């Protein structure tokens, strides 16, 4: 298993990615991935297709999702891996989490209109693959296509984020709920891209300790959202908190993502790979 190329984080058209589960599987396999997971935001509708496409492409598969959580006034993402995708408790939890996205999107569009950019709700909708999952990414694609910004990174620097036009705070699932849905469905919970949250040291300590208390067992160390330095920082945090380590590109689109599927550095030595905790759940 030393040559394992695990990529356990990416998005399809079922959330805010631009590729189908099938196209992602082909791309992942072509890049050398042999253990894969599709982790759409708050959604598991792509899981059956992803599993089938993974096996057809010769890859092993772990079920996946990325749950939006509100913690200490910010949005934190918790990746679930290896859970039973047929367990109704996961479907019910995610359904509840997805609710309210349309209303939020309407409010985002109202703010953007007030800032002189009308028509963003309809514009964003044109990029949406799953009507229950209109996200900031779809607004970002519309703002790029309509020439307001030159790329999605510029969008998130000037719009849709705290203090900028088009930002609407939202109450997502609680940390306890997200970890509970994953673990009661036989999966493992993983803190996604921890360096992105910009928490204070105290807030971050609270996140990691509460996550462990609720039954969380892993943290993403190597991700498309981390620099090499951030990966080494969170390798140490993983060891301090006794968490296993995950690896995932967070690939969304060939034109937007910094790192392609599977083309990530290896996990730093000495860490427990999170997939070893769910070996019995690999399909």
Q: In this complex, which beta carbon is closest to ligand AMP, that of residue 90 or of residue 160? A: 160
Side-chain half-sphere CA neighbours of 42 within 13 A:
25
Residue 268 CB neighbour total at 10 angstroms: 17
Site for ligand AMP in 249-278 (CB under 6 A): 252
Q: Which does 136 bind (CB under 5 to 8 A by kind): Mn ion, ligand AMP, none?
A: ligand AMP
Residue closest to ligand AMP (Cβ)? 135
Partner in contact with 43, chosen from ligand AMP, Mn ion, none, beta carbon below 5 to 8 Å by kind: none
In this structure, are residues 15 and 44 in contact, taking their beta carbons and an 8 Å threshold? Answer: no
Residues that bind Mn ion (CB under 5 A): 16, 66, 77, 192, 250
Least distance to ligand AMP from the beta carbon of 152, Å? 6
Size of the site for ligand AMP (CB under 6 A): 10
135 binding ligand AMP? (CB under 6 A): yes
Among 27, 136, 226, 247, binds ligand AMP (CB under 6 A): 136
Which CB atom, from 27 or from 136, has the smaller least distance to ligand AMP?
A: 136
CA–CA separation, 89 vs 68, rounded Å? 16
> Does residue number 68 form part of the binding site for ligand AMP (CB under 6 A)?
yes
d(CA 124, CA 152): 13
Q: How far is CA 112 from CA 39, 127, 281, in A?
A: 29, 17, 44
Closest to Mn ion by CB, 55 vs 161, is 161
Look at residues 211, 200, 149 and name the one whose alpha carbon lies nearest to residue 174: 211
Give me the 143-182 binding string for ligand AMP, x by CB under 6 A, dash otherwise: ---------xx--x--------------------------
Q: 74 φ, ψ to 5°?
A: -125, 170
CB of 238 to Mn ion, least distance (A): 18
Joined together, the tokens standing for residue 263 give: 């083309």
Q: Residue 95 has which token pair?
A: 């359904």
């Amino acid at each position: 298993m030393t040559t394992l190329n695990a990529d356990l984080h990416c998005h399809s058209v079922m959330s805010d990615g631009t590729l189908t589960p099938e196209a992602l599987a082909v791309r992942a396999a072509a890049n050398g991935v042999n253990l894969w997971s599709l982790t759409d935001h708050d959604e598991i509708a792509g899981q059956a297709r992803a599993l089938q496409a993974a096996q057809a492409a010769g890859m092993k598969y772990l079920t996946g999702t990325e749950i939006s959580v509100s913690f200490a006034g910010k949005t934190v993402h918790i990746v679930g891996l290896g859970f039973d995708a047929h367990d109704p408790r996961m479907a019910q939890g995610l359904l509840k989490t997805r609710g309210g996205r349309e209303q939020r999107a309407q409010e985002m569009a109202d703010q953007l209109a007030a800032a002189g950019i009308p028509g963003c709700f309809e514009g964003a909708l044109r990029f949406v693959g799953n009507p229950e999952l209109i996200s900031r990414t779809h607004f970002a694609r519309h703002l790029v296509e309509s020439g307001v910004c030159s790329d999605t990174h510029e969008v998130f620097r000037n719009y849709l984020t705290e203090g900028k036009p088009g930002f609407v705070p939202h109450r997502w699932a609680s940390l306890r709920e997200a970890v509970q849905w994953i673990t009661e469905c036989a999966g493992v919970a993983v803190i996604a891209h921890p360096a992105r949250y910009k928490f204070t040291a105290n807030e971050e300590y609270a996140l990691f300790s509460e996550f462990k208390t609720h039954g969380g067992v892993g943290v993403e160390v190597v991700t498309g959202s981390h620099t090499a330095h951030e990966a080494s920082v969170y390798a140490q945090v993983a060891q301090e908190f006794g968490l296993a380590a995950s690896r995932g590109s967070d690939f969304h689109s060939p034109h937007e993502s910094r790192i392609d599927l599977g083309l990530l550095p290896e996990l730093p030595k000495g860490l427990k790979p999170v997939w070893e905790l769910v070996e019995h759940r690999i399909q």
